[in-house]
């Protein structure tokens, strides 16, 4: 992307729900100088990775629940 | 570790505060079958990685602030 988001790592995101029991980790990349949007990447136990849309309701709830996971 | 936490990836954690402006990402690994404790790994823009203690006050606050980072 040439619009200053040069090093965003999520080209596309999904809104589809992914059940927590499948998670290996949740990675949150804060808005920063190189990428102007919050990025949330869920790594599964199957080693697959999904960029999920931070504005999706279930993702918002997940981020709030993080301390209790 | 031979106590069932075979694949915990944080051998040791730090409680020392790391300022958010240095963060590249925050990775949260939920308590799971292979590791029985919550692990929080902060990756810095310098590419260094730190396992931080989830029970430390500033880490607890960080996890709550994640949606707004």
- Which has the closest alpha carbon to B52: B42, B44, B62? B42
User: What's domain A20-68's architecture?
Assistant: Beta Barrel (2.40)
ipTM of the complex: 0.87
Domain edges within chain A: 20-68
* pLDDT tens, N- to C-terminus, chain B (69 residues): 445 566 899 999 999 999 999 999 999 999 987 899 999 999 999 999 999 999 999 999 999 998 888
Q: Which residue of A18, A49, A59, A63 to mutate against B (max B Cβ within 10 Å)?
A: A63
Cβ(A44)–Cβ(A18) under 8 Å? yes
How far is A64 from chain B, CA to nearest CA, in Å? 6
* pLDDT tens, N- to C-terminus, chain A (69 residues): 445 566 899 999 999 999 999 999 999 999 987 899 999 999 999 999 999 999 999 999 999 998 888
> At B42, which helix (H) or strand (E)?
strand B39-44
CA distance B41 to B52: 6
- Quick check: A69 and B23 CB within 8 A? no
């Amino acid at each position: 992307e040439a619009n200053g988001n040069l090093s965003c790592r999520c080209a596309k995101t999904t809104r589809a729900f992914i059940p927590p029991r499948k998670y290996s980790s949740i990675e949150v990349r804060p808005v920063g100088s190189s990428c102007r949007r919050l990025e949330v990447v869920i790594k599964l136990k199957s080693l697959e990775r999904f960029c999920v849309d931070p504005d999706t309701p279930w993702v918002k709830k997940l981020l709030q629940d993080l301390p209790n996971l």
